[in-house]
Structure 1
Amino acid sequence: MQVLVIEDDESLNHAVSSVLREEGFQVHVSLRGDDGAFMAEQNIYDLIILDLMLPGMTGIAIIHYLRARGIDTPILLLTALDAVERRVEGLDAGADDYVVKPVAFQELLARARAILRRHGTLSENGDIGIGPLTVRPRLQEGYYNQVPLKLSAKEFELLEFLVINRNQILTREQILDRVWGFESDTGIGIVELYVHYLRKKLTAAGCPELIHTVRGIGYMMKEKAHVPKDEN
């Protein structure tokens, strides 16, 4: 799962990022509000951890900016102990929860997991899935009928992104940004290639067709019985 940390205190940014990575999250960071808003606008993250006082653009402004554009990525605020009014303002603007500084990292992890569960991204044990296909983000492993799938790192990231966004159409550009990074110079054709690789491995494991091509747009992971006829 992808987390964006927007925090201008380099030591805190590094500490939060390290704790998240130890828990199996893939972390991107920004030290400025304006840069962080640009990254968040790509809409490829499962969670944003956001400081309120930032250079370039405040945390409150970032929340308004994202919500006005229909980006509903969950947001966990980092706030000062005495910043009650700003905390309330952030929650009213559309943030999901907050952690008070100095940050207790176990609390931060617990609140992050709770937010992801509320948004249907994470189960109680941390697994995500569709039917008998299961992804375990912390272990970077995929299973079909509890049998491990032999996946490369990029195949796992692709599978995880598709499963997290099951029943939703994802554009090729969204997948490229999420799996390879929006600053990558990799061409869009790599998406189709890795979808092909992943389909082959799922088929070999006995998995029915779950990854459906939406012509001219991208892909959708959905159980076939519920896929409209014009989606293959």
Structure 2
Amino acid sequence: MKILFLEDDDVLLKDLVQALEEAKHSVTTCKSGQAAIYLAGSRDYHVLIFDRMVDGIDGLNALRILRSKGVRTPALFLTAMTGVDDRVDGLEAGADDYLAKPFAVRELLARVMALGRRGQYGEASASLVVGDIEIDRLKRSVTRAGIPVLLQVQEFKLLEYLMLHAGQVVTRSMLLEGVWSYHFDVRTNIVESHMSRLRAKLCANGSPDPIQTLRRIGYRFETGQP
């Protein structure tokens, strides 16, 4: 796979690039957010690996800018900023995964492979349609009955996950892992608050709510017109 690696620690960068190349990946490196924005926006990569704390435009804002430009390459934050709020900020900026330093190189390689597979799956299924709701996964756009619905990055990912599992019950834990890449239950209302905003936007024109709440169980996205 082709990987773009944003990191300004020369020692760490050298070691990780060697490990990635030994795993048969092709790695392009850069040390500033400005360079990452240019490279990711002008060339095709399978995975982005960004450190958050770099000079100039930091990794967090670099990814925000790329997502606003429609770049949807799966992205992993690799950082020493490990607090829950830091993780939430990273995922809200459009990251698909978040790995805290220090870490095992084997885990990084496994996560990179998982993100690469996710990107390939997304390319194979660019459009999703359930009832009168359609999302374009390449353009990250949503319409309902032909009317555009403007969503933030995590709202889009939440809707995408629900539509991929339309007709199925999804639990809070499933959403935390599938949308926010949390493999543990964070003690926040992140799922509930995003679900509320998503529902409001999908129903803004008086359309019925396609998301059913199953008390103490989870949610189900309806497969057809209510």
1:52 is the counterpart of 2:57: no
Decide whether the 8 Å contact of 1:10 with 1:31 is kept in 2: no
For residues 80 and 20 of structure 1, do their structure 2 counterparts lie closer, same or farther at Cα, with a shift above 3 Å needed? same
1:147-158 equivalences under 5 Å are: none
Deviation at 1:166, TM superposition (A): 7.5
Q: How many residue pairs align between the two structures?
A: 126
1:64 is the counterpart of 2:64: yes
1:104-183 equivalences under 5 Å are: 104-120=104-120
For residues 83 and 38 of structure 1, do their structure 2 counterparts lie closer, same or farther at Cα, with a shift above 3 Å needed? farther
Match of 1:36 in 2: 36
For residues 5 and 110 of structure 1, do their structure 2 counterparts lie closer, same or farther at Cα, with a shift above 3 Å needed? same
**Could you report, residue by residue, the CA deviation over 1:35-89 in whole angstroms, capped at 9, with x for unpaired residues?**
1221111141110100001101111111111011100011011121534322211
Tell me which amino acid in the other structure corresponds to 2:61.
Answer: A
Decide whether the 8 Å contact of 1:7 with 1:31 is kept in 2: yes
For residues 30 and 18 of structure 1, do their structure 2 counterparts lie closer, same or farther at Cα, with a shift above 3 Å needed? same
**Could you report, residue by residue, the CA deviation over 1:68-119 in whole angstroms, capped at 9, with x for unpaired residues?**
1100011011121534322211111110001111231100011111111222
Tell me which amino acid in the other structure corresponds to 2:22.
Answer: E
Decide whether the 8 Å contact of 1:79 with 1:87 is kept in 2: no
Unmatched runs of 5 consecutive residues or more in structure 1: 122-163, 169-232
Deviation at 1:22, TM superposition (A): 0.4
Deviation at 1:3, TM superposition (A): 0.2
For residues 46 and 56 of structure 1, do their structure 2 counterparts lie closer, same or farther at Cα, with a shift above 3 Å needed? same
1:18 is the counterpart of 2:55: no
Q: Give the root-mean-square deviation of aligned CA atoms.
A: 2.1
For residues 79 and 54 of structure 1, do their structure 2 counterparts lie closer, same or farther at Cα, with a shift above 3 Å needed? same
Identity, in percent, stands at 38
